[in-house]
Amino acid sequence: MKYLSLTSDQWTELEAALQGLANRGRYFKRLQSIKLNAQGYSLPTIRPLLDVHYNSVYQWIGRYEAEGLAGRRC
């Protein structure tokens, strides 16, 4: 999988969504996986950082590519 390339508007939207979230909640981890991948972290590197399964990270990033931030709440 390639790394995400976010526009400045997408970065702003992502940072705003991360504000005020508990650091261990599932939604936080989903958003954090997107941010880390866009910063150049590979999926195998992200997985242990967030303590989640590789497939979860893969699906979260794939859904973000397809649906944007709105797809992250599911």
pLDDT at 51 (0 to 100):
94
Residue 45 is part of which domain span? 23-73
* Lookup result for tokens 């979860």: 56
Whether 15 maps to a domain, the answer reads no
Whether 37 maps to a domain, the answer reads yes
pTM confidence score: 0.86
Overall number of domains in the chain: 1
Q: Please provide the DSSP assignment of 3-70 as one string.
A: PP---HHHHHHHHHHHTT--TTSHHHHHHHHHHHHHTT--HHHHHHHHT--HHHHHHHHHHHHHHGGG
Whether 47 maps to a domain, the answer reads yes
Interval 12-68: pLDDT, tens: 999 988 887 766 688 899 999 999 999 999 999 999 999 999 999 999 999 999 998
